[in-house]
Structure 1
Amino acid sequence: MIVVVPANGPALVDLRQVSLTYRVGKEETLALADATLSIAKGEFIAVVGPSGCGKSTLMKLVTGLLPPSSGEVHVRGEKVVRPIKGVGMAFQNPTLMPWRTTRDNILLPLEIVAPHKQQFRRKRAEYAARAERLLASVGLGGFGDKYPWQLSGGMQQRSNLCRALIHEPEIMMLDEPFGALDAFTREELWGIMQLLWLERRFTAVLVTHDLREAVYLADTVYVMSRRPGRVVMTKRIDIPRPRTLETTFEPHFVDIVHALRERIHQEHA
């Protein structure tokens, strides 16, 4: 078990010896075992590891979507016993509603999340302006009236990020949000994601199979073992920001990626 206290401030998220067992009928599967880590407020972490190691399960535990079988999850100093508030989520599939414009897709969280839903009609113009500012920040200014089917995959994923951020969440959960995109679009969105984080300083948890992506975006990368998932390596990324694509070719960056890849390969041995 590796216990890591973040170097840049008190913990916003604490997992303390957390395990999770899935039960289907009489069968039990230990998905996560004795996971312990801390995430500081405003920190960007990435979680990598073999397929099926519990990376996405970790996110569900942090957000309260799943209760741990043992151990405790604390967010903002309080034990998590139900789904927490103040979370934005972006997944590999943008899941934009095809009958809503890009702007209206982005506004959707404000229609359903308190306290915004109670004042949505009264503040609609203000919220729409917020959506337009977000769109402009990701290079989609003027696309608010377009429908998802009129956007490329990369543009849809930028819209998805805007939707996850519109209610100004304290915590962002990013579950392979760029995994389905081509390499050029994916790398472009790394830069956009970094810029959004530098401007807003939300706490981010990124699950990814792309080690370059993890090192480019994260302050800390956690490597998980094969199932049952355990944290087996923690790597602080001591590369100055803002990072660029040129950064990914620098020897120190490449060395970090190789070290992470070697540790994951050991899990397959």
Structure 2
Amino acid sequence: MEQLYVDLRNVSLVYGDGDEQTLAIDRLDLKVREGEFVAVVGPSGCGKSTLMKLVTGLLPPDGGAVFIQGRKATGPVMGVGMAFQNSTLLPWRSTLSNVMLPFELVQPHRKRLRRNADEYVEKARRLLDTVGLLEFADKFPWELSGGMQQRANVCRALVHEPKLLMLDEPFGALDAFTREELWLMTQALWMKQRFSSILVTHDLREAVFLADRVIVLSKRPGRIILERQVDIPRPRALSCTFEPLFSEIVHEIREKIVEARG
């Protein structure tokens, strides 16, 4: 029997009050298995970022329910890693210190940090080494390139080994070459830690390269209009993006989004 990590059941969300109400998400059912990587795409304003807030418990649904590991979410979900499009590194902290921030905030690490500082520093350094940032551990964010900052952002989201990683267009502001490098990095980290992940992106190639399954939302109010399994073996090399099957999946998704725009 498959183990579900995220289970949205008939979820709806309304923004505004009275006559100014807007239905953002409409009766949406979404399931993410443990260890599954799901990408969510769709036209602008379809509710992708709203979906992220519903999954993490930052917004309660107006209808339906959100379950995480079988438990109904009634507030912010604990133990979630998050990375966003814009760098959220703290400018007064070094790269290493930024990456270690979750240890200061998340239990049980917060309780153990003072007595086991060396252990936690070593863990953060190993992760930085994995993504090629160890030599920049003592640098500040303004001393890093945009790509390096996003590597550090993803490291910070994963250093405490969350079971769920939420990625909200984390590579959208980067050049194409750097973005593709970070696809490979994210894939390598996922294959090592096997966390569940939901990626929101406008980049269809990114969605197909990283995901096990791509979800396409309609224009507002957001409904699922396509679920496409990505049957491309892992690890995926960048060369697979030029293969016929990859292109076929991307075109199928693009056509559905064009159709959804109406």
User: What is the TM-score when the length of structure 2 is the normalising length?
Assistant: 0.98
Is it true that 1:250 corresponds to 2:243 in the alignment?
yes
Structure 1 counterpart of 2:223, from 217, 230, 247? 230
Distance in structure 1 (CA, Å) of the matches to 2:193 and 2:86: 23
Residue 194 of structure 2 is matched in structure 1 by 201
The separation in 2 between residues aligned to 1:258 and 1:251, in whole angstroms, is 10
Match of 2:73 among 47, 62, 80: 80
Q: How far apart, CA to CA, are the structure 2 residues paired with 1:198 and 1:115?
A: 25
Matched letter for residue 142 of structure 1: E
- Superposed CA deviations along residues 93-136 of structure 1, whole A, max 9, x for unmatched, are 12111111000001111111112112221121111111100001
Structure 1 residues 111-260: aligned runs within 5 Å:
111-260=104-253
Can you give the 5+ residue segments of structure 1 that lack an aligned partner in the other structure? 1-7
Task: Please give the TM-score of this superposition, normalised by the length of structure 1.
Answer: 0.95
| Gaps in structure 2 of 5+ consecutive residues | none
Alpha-carbon RMSD:
1.1
Task: Name 2:30's counterpart in structure 1.
Answer: 37
The runs of at least 4 consecutive aligned structure 1 residues that moved more than 2 Å come to none
Question: Matched residues, percent identical?
Answer: 61
SS at match of 2:136: coil
Q: Distance in 2 between matches of 1:86 and 1:105?
A: 17
